[in-house]
Chain A
């Protein structure tokens, strides 16, 4: 020290001066962030870095322009980590300002969420109405309690093999649902009876339809759409149980029994990946899924991927519902920066941002406003084969409706029926156990009565 001419005390003084200078300068830096601080917990996209980076870029860009300090966490749904995080933050009444809420979580936590009518009002004026399924899930007591989000929202229509369906079932799925705004020949006959015949032929040829019938969402969603297409509601909008003495329920159960003669027995324990693997491995001619199975096949089994076509699930005697699973952005009522959070959510819902997010997911993510489907071109361009996901989002010419299983039952009952896969279990009891229909309906009635407790 002496040699350098700087004493110990001088060095300490100098260091303290630097530290003090830094500490005094810090508030100046933060003062630039006049918009305050936001903690965001967004869904960790299955696509991975590409999709997460896209939304991070959009958020960072907005944060810089608005001088908001943002902390962005990606929370996976693997192992229901997102559900556990939501439950924990609701209990602790602290955590993120904005969280991604899957399907039923808005109803589960709406008492702790900030209404967003102002945001939804402005978005509605600009982009038109939100689809009914999202409204059912996020508009509670006449108030929007969350903003439907694009990232993670999906349809689960048909993902079928072009070659196998043509060869074994005699159905040209590309011609039936071409990558244009029109229906092709056979689309008007794409109903559950046609579907059953195709299932039988494909099974006989060694390529059975991989239709899950367990308690995971892929199973619940397609079975829910099938029930709805027959008008077979287990609980009506007022909360009345309508299982026994309901001819439509008996009709769809009778159909399910016939259909499941051609579905492999192991599908009763299938999870959300079983059907994907069946398609990717080339062992199945059709599954109900978003284009995630196709995207994996594009990487791992390109011959399969270039033969996959996406289009709506079949129609029934009472309508043409297509399985839909939306995600939502919710702002906790205990958030300290609600106005800024609302500004960000409105920004994320604009077409320019939505387009970037849909492109990053190769068309997997679905915006809540039908008007955006025409504006965003990505679904036309994704390949191979070109146009494979054109009919993945429900379009006006499909004359179909996005459907959440167990709607229109009051959500507090529906969520339990959904998570416990009541319809799938009804089918399993009848098909696997050979239980008489009256016993199955009696069991379902008792279960649903239990879900009505307050």
Chain B
């Protein structure tokens, strides 16, 4: 027993040393939720520093006077609503965002179906090519579009002139300019919808289509009663995400038209920059940019409620 081993009588359990009581800190550290929190802490710090803080700071700024010397409450917001130019900016932002998102969703939906129908071998190649607009930084691709629309070197006008059509002032006429900025946004964003819808399509069980076919469903009926309901949540989430990003767009309008002609292509982001940074009225610029928030918040609430309801229905 020189080695200190303990001898116990047969059938009698060895006396086990009572486990040392873990400290509160150790207990907290062992919890899964604590670990999760620690792992998420860097992300929370980034969101706090780059999203939450600027958001609340923008609210604070929007309630100051132009010289940022006194608190004026909601004066900046009520002032903006009386301005004809800002009323147009609201309308244009809605037109730009809704028009672009609807077009992107439709084009993405069609492209996803076309890709889904392609044989697996060629599908990857087409998928890669169709994603190209989405992976090019928008500032660069918009510059390329700007060249295409440029009055001196317009390749688009060169093409249309080949068939005898007079040159179009793509960025100089208010209606064409609105069309052009939406077109570029659709070109850039449609691949995102396409890839999301393609993923959703691939997750629809084939048995549902087979069952529908046995019931004599036409192609349109399969689309309406099988495909769309099964994709509804993805469609809603994609539309919501895209609407937020499109409402907050800045680079496309800034590069193509700078809000012109006659402010007819200004959206919240570009107008906020013009008023806040360029004209030196940072509180008013903050107020302009914050107008996006309630519009998007209301939309997000409705969309997310729909998603939750459908998820419950499917689970039930």
Nearest-neighbor residue (CB-CB) of B154 within chain A: A266
Nearest-neighbor residue (CB-CB) of B171 within chain A: A269
Is the pair A269, B261 in contact by a Cβ cutoff of 8 Å? Answer: yes
Is the pair B280, A215 in contact by a Cβ cutoff of 8 Å? Answer: no
Is the pair A269, B172 in contact by a Cβ cutoff of 8 Å? Answer: yes
- Bound-state CA distance A453–B153 (Å) is 42
Is the pair B262, A84 in contact by a Cβ cutoff of 8 Å? Answer: no
- Bound-state CA distance A108–B83 (Å) is 23
B282 proximity list for chain A (CB < 8 A): 87
Contact among B153, B173, B280 with A415 in the assembled complex (CB-CB below 8 Å): B280
Contact among B66, B171, B257, B278 with A83 in the assembled complex (CB-CB below 8 Å): B278
Indicate whether A398 reaches chain B with its CB closer than 8 angstroms: no
Knowing A446-B84, A454-B66, the reply to whether A420 touches B171 (Cβ < 8 A) is no
B169 proximity list for chain A (CB < 8 A): 264-266, 268-269
Knowing A83-B278, A425-B263, A450-B83, the reply to whether A265 touches B173 (Cβ < 8 A) is yes
Which of A148-156, A187-195, A361-369, A428-436 is found at the contact surface with chain B?
Answer: A428-436
Is the pair B171, A266 in contact by a Cβ cutoff of 8 Å? Answer: yes
- Within A384-403, the residues touching B (CB, 8 Å) are none
- Bound-state CA distance A443–B279 (Å) is 19
Interface string of B282-301 (1 = CB under 8 A from A): 10000000000000000000
A271 proximity list for chain B (CB < 8 A): 258
Is the pair A214, B84 in contact by a Cβ cutoff of 8 Å? Answer: no
B174 proximity list for chain A (CB < 8 A): 432
Among B65, B172, B281: residue with most chain A CB under 10 A? B172
Measured CB to CB, the closest approach of chain A to B151, in angstroms, equals 4
- Bound-state CA distance A412–B280 (Å) is 9
Measured CB to CB, the closest approach of chain A to B165, in angstroms, equals 15
What count of chain B residues pass the 8 Å CB interface test?
34
Knowing A84-B277, A214-B258, the reply to whether A443 touches B84 (Cβ < 8 A) is yes
Indicate whether A419 reaches chain B with its CB closer than 8 angstroms: yes
Indicate whether B158 reaches chain A with its CB closer than 8 angstroms: no
- Bound-state CA distance A107–B66 (Å) is 13
Nearest-neighbor residue (CB-CB) of A219 within chain B: B260
Measured CB to CB, the closest approach of chain B to A446, in angstroms, equals 6
Is the pair B260, A274 in contact by a Cβ cutoff of 8 Å? Answer: no
B161 proximity list for chain A (CB < 8 A): none
Interface string of A438-454 (1 = CB under 8 A from B): 00000100110010011
Contact among B66, B150, B262, B277 with A432 in the assembled complex (CB-CB below 8 Å): B262
- Bound-state CA distance A25–B261 (Å) is 62
Indicate whether B79 reaches chain A with its CB closer than 8 angstroms: yes
Indicate whether A416 reaches chain B with its CB closer than 8 angstroms: yes
Which of A41-49, A52-60, A275-283, A299-307 is found at the contact surface with chain B?
Answer: A275-283
Measured CB to CB, the closest approach of chain A to B182, in angstroms, equals 15
Nearest-neighbor residue (CB-CB) of B79 within chain A: A453
Indicate whether B259 reaches chain A with its CB closer than 8 angstroms: yes
A327 proximity list for chain B (CB < 8 A): none
- Bound-state CA distance A410–B170 (Å) is 36
B274 proximity list for chain A (CB < 8 A): 215, 419-420
Indicate whether A104 reaches chain B with its CB closer than 8 angstroms: yes
Is the pair B277, A214 in contact by a Cβ cutoff of 8 Å? Answer: no
Measured CB to CB, the closest approach of chain B to A441, in angstroms, equals 14
A107 proximity list for chain B (CB < 8 A): 280
Knowing A277-B150, A281-B153, the reply to whether A269 touches B66 (Cβ < 8 A) is no
Is the pair A447, B151 in contact by a Cβ cutoff of 8 Å? Answer: no
Indicate whether B177 reaches chain A with its CB closer than 8 angstroms: yes
Ranked nearest first, the 10 interchain pairs of A and B with the lowest CB-CB distance are A266-B172, A108-B280, A266-B169, A266-B151, A269-B171, A268-B261, A214-B260, A419-B279, A419-B278, A269-B172
Measuring CB to CB, which residues of chain B are less than 8 angstroms from any residue of chain A? 65-67, 79, 82-85, 150-153, 169-174, 177, 257-263, 273-274, 277-282
| 10 other A-B residue contacts (CB within 8 Å) besides A271-B258, A281-B153 | A80-B277, A87-B277, A111-B67, A215-B260, A266-B169, A267-B151, A270-B151, A277-B153, A420-B274, A454-B67
